[in-house]
């Protein structure tokens, strides 16, 4: 995705095995190789039906603010992260 953010894609075959929509956020402050770039944030998304689209929209809106993006890369305040995803 760029900006130090990665959102890996699942497979169409696995889509039918999703039992609950959810999201996971992994922080790599030093960065981890992801394609040709380094990612400090990796989001994992699982969605029933098209529910993953709502999660993607929330992530994109959240990342538009540079201050929020930078804080997400290092914060340990999970309540703050949850608030950002609302």
* Residues marked as catalytic: 9
Burial class (CB in 10 A: 0-12, 13-18, 19+), 50: exposed
Report the alpha-carbon distance of residue 74 to residue 22 in Å, rounded. 21
């Amino acid at each position: 995705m760029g900006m130090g953010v990665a959102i890996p894609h699942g497979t169409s075959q696995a889509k039918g095995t999703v039992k609950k929509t959810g999201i996971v956020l992994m922080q790599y402050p030093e960065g981890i190789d992801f394609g040709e770039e380094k990612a400090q944030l990796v989001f994992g998304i699982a969605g029933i039906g098209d529910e993953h689209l709502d999660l993607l929209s929330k992530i994109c809106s959240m990342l538009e603010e540079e201050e929020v993006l930078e804080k997400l890369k290092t914060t340990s305040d999970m309540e703050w992260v949850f608030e950002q995803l609302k």
